[in-house]
């Protein structure tokens, strides 16, 4: 199995990317190979620095870089030899089994939709994010930003996509799906959440537990929390800020430490025909390494095929 | 000055309400009188229990109670001798200067709109909530639930209402107004936030600082954070759950302790012709007392008149 990494993606690339790849390669030895993609002149010297620890890594050159501030669609189309474009080409051709990048989020999304494409039947792929649970483990929240505005049918599908991910990647047997709303009662919310509630309620593929509220994000009411990308993005960034403020204040606790994005790695794009993961812009080597491990588990789980099977019918 | 309290409102009423009124009366001695409104048979014995400490309190009987689970509009109209309806009658007649309740939020909103009414020119009143700031003091977030769905013009007005509150009640000289969004760039977000951004940008009454993100809730980018009631409600409840979890884990810190809703009291309804504050359902005596102090400061500030003046033009 091969897991590709955009060596040029992220605020601390390529150093953090290469160091993260070395860390992940140690842990995946005998199970998967890490493939670094990036500018030869930037990456080669770093591989030499890491010495024999870097021997297990493969390298694929890509002459261009999509910067964090570039317009995603424009940059992706104009820079066909960028590390992100090359990564998706490798993924689409089957040369690698997962592609991870802490680079331009928009370009990662555009690349996913242009190359490996959305699964037939999926209206819009979503970005999922891990949510630490107070009692144990993680749940997932989606969408966290791919779709600022959603239709009810999209929220319904996010419930299905998230449920499959929770089941096949997180190993939760019958994931509980909750709809983020401003009240628990069925009639509460906006026209969007009211309509989505009705769709989710009768969807036979999921175990819908109804509306949940902002206070339920971290409890056990739902393993999969569905919302539009606007709400999800704001919640996610707020949760990250809570961790940052606690860390600044040297407040540490096993539960709150799970808010640290570094511990989980990245956010999978769900609803596409392959495995792609977007990392945090400020990813450290530890975060990069965890994103690669996550890419390995995702590829191993066969989640993309499960999604294709579900939406075929 | 007189500040009225719904003695029957909240999960721990009437005990917590009466105890909170006694606490507030001590602090407001010589400045304001607390007027308790409720069922005679429930409140009188509690006043006796508090002995001479309750002497400063006034009491107005109301034979009915609107329960937490009742349909707001129906209950308000059918129970014209409920503590909430009587409270609004006193407020509207000028017999009291502010009305506070930890009871049915919806009925408090309905009562506000039916009796004291929205200020002429205000499309929809909003519920504002305090947001602890990392460096110092509090900012405010609105709407947090009065309007699940909003039009751009409503968000613009929330910016004005919040700005006036921040200025006249919180004493912030030139409040910075931020629009909650999923990215800082002007074009980001939903059609709603994109359109609201354009309106806020050219509004001469406020100091608009642009879009802010979920991570900016607690920093100094904005004193007044504008969002639709769906987003605000979810953010608020999530923040409350963070405090609850920290409290359970006995993690205490001067900043994070400001997340405790008890410390601030309640959420003012802004954009109506008088001073009304909604308390948390599970308000303790300490929370009730702080809500009454807040009612006093709000009445003292003349904020309702400031809002009327601004929207007149």
Q: What is the per-residue pLDDT across A243-262, written as a single tens digit (0 to 9) for each?
A: 999 999 999 999 999 999 88
Distances in Å between the Cα of B113 and the Cα atoms of A61, B48, B90, B116, B119 are 65, 35, 15, 6, 9
CB contact under 8 A, A253 and B249: yes
Distances in Å between the Cα of B8 and the Cα atoms of B5, B19, B250, B281, B293 are 9, 12, 31, 11, 19
Quick one: pLDDT at residue A240? 93
Residue carrying the six token digits 């003695």: B7
Residues of B within 8 A of A233 (CB-CB) are 182, 213-214
Distances in Å between the Cα of B223 and the Cα atoms of A5, A243, A284, B228 are 41, 21, 32, 17
Span A1-122+271-313: which CATH code?
Answer: 3.40.718.10
**A200 neighbors A212 (Cβ within 8 angstroms):** no
What's the pLDDT band for A193 if we cut at 50, 70, 90?
Answer: very high
Question: What is the distance between the alpha carbons of residues A137 and A134, in angstroms, rounded to a whole number?
Answer: 8
Which of A134, A234, A246 is facing B231, going by the closest CB pair? A234
Q: Find which of B145, B196, B234, B254 to mutate to test the A interface (most A CBs within 10 Å of its CB).
A: B234
Q: Identify the helix (H) or strand (E) that includes residue B244.
A: helix B229-248
Quick one: pLDDT at residue A164? 98
What's the pLDDT band for A265 if we cut at 50, 70, 90?
Answer: confident
CATH superfamily of the domain spanning A124-260: Isopropylmalate Dehydrogenase (3.40.718.10)
Is residue A94's pLDDT more than 90? Answer: yes
Is residue B274's pLDDT more than 80? Answer: yes
Question: What is the distance between the alpha carbons of residues B171 and B138, in angstroms, rounded to a whole number?
Answer: 11
Residue A259 gets which letter from DSSP? G
**A43 neighbors A7 (Cβ within 8 angstroms):** yes
Which residue in chain B is spatially nearest to A180 when comparing CA positions?
A: B234
Residue pairs between chains A and B whose CB atoms are closer than 8 Å: 111
Which of B182, B217, B236 is facing A233, going by the closest CB pair? B182
Which of A214, A229, A249 is facing B235, going by the closest CB pair? A214
Q: Complex ipTM, two decimals?
A: 0.94
Question: What is the distance between the alpha carbons of residues A32 and A300, in angstroms, rounded to a whole number?
Answer: 10
Q: Find which of A145, A242, A256, A280 to mutate to test the B interface (most B CBs within 10 Å of its CB).
A: A242
Average pLDDT over residues A279-284: 93
Quick one: pLDDT at residue A170? 94
What long-range pairs does A76-79 form, CB within 8 A, spacing at least 24?
A: A76/A107, A76/A110, A76/A111, A76/A114, A77/A114
B129 at interface of A, judged by CB pairs closer than 8 A: no
The dihedral of CA B264, B151, B212, B122: what is its sign?
Answer: negative
Please state the length of chain A. Answer: 313
A129 at interface of B, judged by CB pairs closer than 8 A: no
Structure tokens at A291: 């994103």
Q: A242 CA to chain B: closest CA distance, Å? A: 8
Structure tokens at B227: 């969002």
Helix (H, G, I), strand (E, B) or coil at B85: helix
Which of B234, B236, B241 is facing A231, going by the closest CB pair? B234
Q: What is the per-residue pLDDT across A108-125, written as a single tens digit (0 to 9) for each?
A: 999 999 999 999 999 999
Is residue B246's pLDDT more than 90? Answer: yes
Which residue in chain A is spatially nearest to B229 when comparing CA positions?
A: A182
Helix, strand, coil shares of chain B, percent, nearest 5, are: 45, 20, 35
Quick one: pLDDT at residue A261? 86
Q: A87 CA to chain B: closest CA distance, Å? A: 26
Quick one: pLDDT at residue A233? 97
B1-118+271-313 architecture in CATH?
3-Layer(aba) Sandwich (3.40)
What's the pLDDT band for B263 if we cut at 50, 70, 90?
Answer: confident
Average pLDDT over residues A297-303: 97
Quick one: pLDDT at residue A307? 97
B240 at interface of A, judged by CB pairs closer than 8 A: yes
Closest CA to A296 of A55, A111, A27, A52: A27
A138 at interface of B, judged by CB pairs closer than 8 A: no
**A30 neighbors A41 (Cβ within 8 angstroms):** no
Which of B181, B237, B242 is facing A213, going by the closest CB pair? B237
**B190 neighbors B227 (Cβ within 8 angstroms):** no
Question: What is the distance between the alpha carbons of residues B85 and B207, in angstroms, rounded to a whole number?
Answer: 37
* Alpha-carbon dihedral B239, B244, B248, B250, rounded to 10 degrees: 60
Closest CA to B131 of B13, B215, B250: B215
CA atoms within 13 A on the CB side of B177: 29
What's the pLDDT band for B249 if we cut at 50, 70, 90?
Answer: very high
**B256 neighbors B131 (Cβ within 8 angstroms):** no
Structure tokens at B270: 């802004």
A253 at interface of B, judged by CB pairs closer than 8 A: yes
B234 at interface of A, judged by CB pairs closer than 8 A: yes
Residues of B within 8 A of A217 (CB-CB) are 238, 241
Is residue B261's pLDDT more than 90? Answer: no
CB contact under 8 A, A190 and B249: no
Q: Domain ranges for chain B, please list them.
A: 1-118+271-313, 123-261
Q: A60 CA to chain B: closest CA distance, Å? A: 33
Q: A246 CA to chain B: closest CA distance, Å? A: 9
Which of A189, A217, A253 is facing B238, going by the closest CB pair? A217
Average pLDDT over residues A55-73: 95
Is residue A187's pLDDT more than 90? Answer: no
Which residue in chain B is spatially nearest to A145 when comparing CA positions?
A: B182
A238 at interface of B, judged by CB pairs closer than 8 A: yes
Q: What is the per-residue pLDDT across B179-235, written as a single tens digit (0 to 9) for each?
A: 999 999 988 999 999 999 999 999 999 999 999 999 999 999 999 999 999 999 999
What's the pLDDT band for B264 if we cut at 50, 70, 90?
Answer: confident
Residues of B within 8 A of A237 (CB-CB) are 213-215
Quick one: pLDDT at residue A60? 98
Domains A1-122+271-313 and A124-260 share a fold: yes
Span B123-261: which CATH code?
Answer: 3.40.718.10
Average pLDDT over residues A295-302: 97
Q: What is the per-residue pLDDT across B104-120, written as a single tens digit (0 to 9) for each?
A: 999 999 999 999 999 99
Q: B265 CA to chain A: closest CA distance, Å? A: 19
């Amino acid at each position: 199995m091969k897991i590709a990494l955009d060596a040029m993606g992220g605020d601390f690339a390529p150093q953090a990317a290469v160091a993260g790849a070395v860390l992940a390669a140690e842990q995946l030895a005998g199970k998967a190979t890490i493939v670094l993609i990036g500018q030869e002149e930037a990456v080669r010297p770093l591989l030499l620095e890491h010495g024999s620890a870097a021997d297990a890594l493969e390298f694929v050159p890509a002459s261009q870089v999509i910067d964090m501030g570039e317009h995603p669609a424009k940059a992706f189309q104009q820079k066909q030899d960028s590390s992100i474009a090359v990564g998706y080409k490798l993924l689409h051709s089957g040369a690698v089994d997962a592609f991870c990048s802490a680079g331009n989020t928009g370009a990662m999304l555009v690349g996913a939709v242009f190359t490996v494409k959305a699964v037939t039947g999926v209206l819009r792929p979503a970005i999922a994010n891990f949510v630490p649970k107070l009692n144990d483990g993680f749940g997932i929240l989606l969408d966290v930003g791919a779709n600022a505005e959603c239709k009810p049918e999209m929220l319904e599908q996010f419930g299905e996509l998230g449920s499959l991910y929770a089941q096949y990647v997180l190993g939760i047997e019958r994931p509980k799906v909750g709809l983020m709303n401003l009240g628990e009662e069925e009639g509460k919310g906006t026209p969007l959440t009211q309509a989505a509630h009705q769709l989710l309620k009768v969807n036979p593929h999921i175990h819908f537990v109804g509306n949940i509220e902002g206070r339920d994000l971290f409890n056990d009411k739902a393993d999969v929390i569905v919302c539009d990308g606007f709400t999800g993005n704001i919640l996610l960034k707020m949760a990250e800020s809570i961790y940052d403020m606690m860390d600044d204040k040297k407040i540490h606790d096993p539960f709150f430490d799970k808010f640290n994005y570094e511990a989980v790695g990245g956010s999978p794009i769900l609803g596409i025909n392959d495995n792609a993961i977007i990392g945090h812009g400020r990813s450290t080597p530890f975060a990069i390494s965890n994103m690669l491990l996550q890419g390995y588990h995702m590829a191993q789980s066969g989640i993309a095929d499960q999604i294709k099977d579900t939406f075929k019918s």
